[in-house]
């Protein structure tokens, strides 16, 4: 039986999504909980994509293929609750749904949406979920720079992926900067993303906001090798996997940051 899992997690305590030897990961914790609850020794758990160490997810998607006996034992809602009881506090299954037999969380996805939170003030509560930038930021300049990256481009210089091993061309549909007072929310949506690509794009935008780069200089980083994107990589703490889209699903625009900082009065 194949199931579709929708998962939220705070990535602060984990070495990313994917199971690794000698490291605590989100997938590893879910794998352990499923084994504990279902008593299944073999099953397939596959996520829509990796998130790096410290990165969060509002709605990561995974598919779970359980053997017939384990899959038929409980209704999906009962299974969800029991797995959640076996998970640590910072990982939560939002939904478990029956999926078609060949549904694949990664291969069937048509787009992914990320959010990045930039704090404009020091915060006592939200530090694991924001990047506090102390300097004033020109969000208008950041928007103008972001617009230069929309469309299909080769992002090889914004990633540590090997262009000889995989295509580094990505179609960005949305790259916006939204002012929420003490929070700037960066929304980026595209067909797929390369390793560290989102964090490097955000880092370059912040450098534009600080006045260290112009929009022209930022766009030129697509064209030739430069150490600048890697040097400006934004911290993992502010990054959230927002949505994974599948054929026929409506797109939506985030109305507010996932962790909101109230204005100082």
Catalytic residue IDs: 52
Give residue for tokens 């911290």. 235
Cβ proximity of 25 and 210 under 8 Å: no
* CA 184 from centre of chain: 17
Do you know the residue count of the chain?
A: 265
Task: Please classify residue 117 by burial: count the beta carbons closer than 10 Å to its beta carbon, then call 0-12 exposed, 13-18 middle and 19+ buried.
Answer: buried
Between the CA atoms of 135, 178, 263 and 53, what dihedral angle is there, to the nearest 10 degrees?
-70
Using an 8 Å Cβ cutoff, are 8 and 59 in contact? yes
């Amino acid at each position: 039986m194949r199931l579709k899992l929708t998962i939220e997690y705070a990535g602060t305590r984990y070495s990313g999504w994917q199971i690794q030897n000698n490291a605590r990961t989100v997938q590893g914790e879910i794998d352990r909980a499923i084994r504990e609850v279902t008593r299944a020794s073999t099953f397939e758990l596959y996520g829509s994509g990796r998130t790096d160490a410290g990165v969060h997810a509002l709605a990561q998607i995974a598919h779970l293929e359980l053997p017939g006996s384990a899959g038929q034992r409980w209704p999906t809602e009962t299974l969800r609750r029991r797995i959640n009881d076996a998970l640590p506090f910072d990982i939560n299954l939002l939904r478990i749904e029956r999926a078609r037999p060949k549904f694949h969380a990664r291969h069937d996805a048509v787009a992914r949406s990320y959010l990045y939170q930039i704090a404009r003030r020091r915060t006592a509560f939200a530090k694991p979920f924001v990047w506090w930038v102390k300097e004033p930021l020109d969000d208008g300049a950041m928007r103008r720079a972001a617009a230069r990256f929309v469309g299909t481009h080769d992002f090889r210089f914004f990633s540590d992926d090997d262009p000889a091993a995989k295509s580094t061309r990505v179609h960005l549909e949305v790259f916006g900067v939204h002012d929420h007072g003490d929070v700037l929310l960066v929304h980026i949506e595209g067909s797929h993303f390369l390793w560290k690509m989102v964090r490097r794009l955000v880092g370059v935008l912040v450098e534009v906001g600080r006045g260290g780069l112009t929009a022209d200089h930022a766009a030129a980083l697509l064209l030739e090798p430069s150490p600048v994107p890697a040097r400006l990589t934004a911290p993992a703490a502010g990054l959230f996997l927002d949505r994974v889209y599948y054929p026929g699903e409506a797109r939506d625009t985030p109305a507010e940051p996932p962790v909101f900082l109230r204005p100082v009065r």
